Amino acid sequence: MSSAVSLPVCALCWSVSSGEDLYMTRALKLMSETPLIDGHNDLPWQLREQFNNQLNKVDLNTLETTHTNIPKIKTCRLGAQSILFPSFFPFWSAYVPCESQYKDAVRKTLEQIEVIHRMCQKYPKTFTFATSSQGQGTAFGHNETASLIGVEGGGHSIDSSLGTLRTLYHLGVRYLTLTHSCNTPWADNWLADTGSELPQHNGLSPSGKQLIVEMNRVGMLIDLSHVTVRVMHQVLDMSKAPVIFSHSSAFAVGPHKRNVPDEVLKRVNETGGIVMVNFYDDEVTFSHTATLANVADHFDHLRKVAGAGIVGFGGDYDGVERLPEGLEDVSKVPHLVAELLRRRWSDLEVKAALGNNLLRALKRAEEVRDRRSHPSHADTSP
C-alpha cells in the first residue's frame, strides 16, 4: 500500500505537545502512513459470550468490558491526553472452541462470520469489510477500519469438508488456523509437543496435505499458530504461498510451545511468510506477568534471527485473560511502536511490521490463487 494515499485532515492529527515523547510522535506519524494490521482480535467471540451475538444489546461506542471498542480503536491515550489513533485493521477471529468438533462447529463458525458482517453493517462509518490486499487501501483512504476475517476453529470449523472451506472463502475468510488446542482429522495441535496430548497423524494426515493444496488454490492464507513444529515444517515444505502465524511469538524468548522456534523462523523468512507477535503474558514470558518491553524483546528476536520482513502484530486482544503492563487494550499499541523506534528500528522496518509484511503475504497468496484458478487445477472434492 502506498504511503502517498491522500488522507483526511483528521487522520494526520498525530502531533503531540512539545513536551511529548519524540518516539511516540514518530510512531504515530508512521502509523498514519501505514496502517497497523493486527493478525488476531477476538472481539466477535466476546460478542457471543457476553451478548449471544445480539448486537442490539451492545453499543461498541460505550462497551467497557472488552479490550476492543470503537473509542479504543480510534484513540490513543498519552497520559492525560487523548489523540487520534491512526488506522487499525484487524483480522477479526471467527473462533469456535474444540468442544464443538464433530457437533455444531460449522454452524457456530458461520454465526461468528455473520456477526462480523453485521458489526460492519451496524457501524459503517467505522468498519469497512475487506477481502483483499487492495480492499484495505480503500478503507485507509477513507480513515476507516478495514475488517478482515480469519477462522480460528481449525479443522473442526469446516468439518473436514473442502466444500465448506471454499464457502468460507466466499464469505470473506482469508485465513484458516489449521488447529486450535485439539487435534483435527488432518493435523496435530501444539499440545502434542508438550506431551500432554498424543499426536494422531505425526504431523499432517493425507487429507491435511490435500487441504494445504486447496487453500493455496483458493487463495486462503494458512495460519500455523496452534500447530506442532512438525506440522510447521510440513506445511512450509508444501505451500506455494507464504504462511502466517497470526498470533505466535518467539520460542527462544518465551519457551512456550505455542511459540515459533528459530529454525522455523528462518524458513518463514525464506518463504516470504510472517510471524505476528502475540501479547498473551503466558506466551510472552512463560509466566503470568509481562510488560510491553518483554513483548518488544520478541520483536527484536524475530528481526535478529530472520529479519524485519517476517514481523507482524498479533495481539490476541479479547481472546486472552492476561495482557502485558502497558498493552492492556488496543489503544496502547502505539506505545509498542514507539518502543521499537526507541530500540533503533528504522522507519522502513516499522512500516513492514505494521502492515506491509502482511499485505505482501496476502498479495502473494492472491497471485498463487490466480495462477492456479484454471479449471484444470480445480479440486472437486466434497
Burial of 279 (0-12, 13-18, 19+ CB in 10 A): buried
Catalytic residue chosen out of the listed positions 180, 201, 256, 298: 180
Rounded CA separation 271/243 (Å): 8
Region for residue 179 given its phi and psi (left: phi exceeds 0; alpha: psi -120 to 50; beta: otherwise)? beta
The CA distance from 254 to 276, in Å, is 14
d(CA 143, CA 146): 9
247 classed as catalytic: yes
Residue found by looking up cell 451492545 in the block? 58
Residue from 33, 38, 40, 300 carrying the catalytic annotation:
40
Set 33, 38, 42, 214: catalytic member: 42
The residue annotated as part of the active site, out of 193, 223, 283, 316, is 316
Distance set, CA 119 to CA 73, 202, 300, 361 (Å) = 14, 40, 35, 26
Q: Which of 67, 156, 201, 226 is catalytic?
A: 226
Residue 180 is a catalytic residue: yes
Look up 67 and say whether it is catalytic.
Answer: no
- Residues of 143-178 as b/e, b for ≥16 C-beta within 10 angstroms? bbbbbbbbbbbbbbbbbbebebbbebbebbbbbbbb
Tell me if residue 127 falls in helix, strand or coil: strand
- Residue 226 known to be catalytic: yes
Task: Please state the separation of Cα 158 from the chain's center in Å.
Answer: 19
CB 172 within 8 A of CB 149: yes
Q: At 61, which amino acid appears?
A: N
d(CA 129, CA 109): 18
> Annotated catalytic residue: which of 247, 256, 298, 301?
247
Amino acid at 132: S
Residues forming beta bridges with residue 36, ordered by sequence position: 88
Looking at 33, 144, 152, 159, which residue is catalytic?
A: 152
What ranges in the chain are assigned the alpha helix state H?
A: 22-33, 43-51, 70-74, 105-122, 133-141, 162-170, 206-218, 229-238, 262-270, 281-285, 292-306, 333-342, 347-351, 357-372
Known catalytic residues?
A: 40, 42, 152, 180, 226, 247, 316
